[in-house]
Amino acid sequence: MSLDRDRLKAAARQAAEASYSPYSRFRVGAALLASDGSVITGTNVENRSYGLTVCAERSAVVQAVSRGLRSFTAVAVHCPDSDEPVAPCGACRQVLSEFAPPETPVLCVGRSGELETTLGALYPFDSLQELKGR
């Protein structure tokens, strides 16, 4: 299955529009490409207790798993309030690595820039992947 980067980035962009970010005003949308070809989206949901905030990437993973999808082949993150592309945070990298291999493409989009990398490049010492190899 080929990766339709434009479709995935557009889904992340649309998801960012649903962001609930009244405190930071930093909208984020994420789109996961599941191994069956479906695209599942999520957005960040803030709380006045910042520790309870949910990132867009984890929001998308929770939606996907709730639908029975547990294998992802790509992820896109769109931050319309950032000039530069923003990669998933450490917690999101950890959660994504539970369901996607290191070679999974990660597409990061800001207002005026894009970055494409892999989950393995963002999270190089993933003990879960090491354990799976044993």
* Helix residue ranges per DSSP H, the chain: 5-16, 56-66, 90-99, 119-122, 127-132
Give Cα separations from 89 to 30, 36, 38, 66, 86 (angstroms).
12, 26, 24, 22, 9
Give Cα separations from 6 to 31, 86, 107, 125, 130 (angstroms).
11, 17, 10, 29, 32
116 noted as active-site residue: no
Give Cα separations from 81 to 3, 13, 98, 127 (angstroms).
26, 11, 28, 33
Active-site pick, 17, 46, 57, 116: 57
Residues annotated catalytic, as ranges: 57
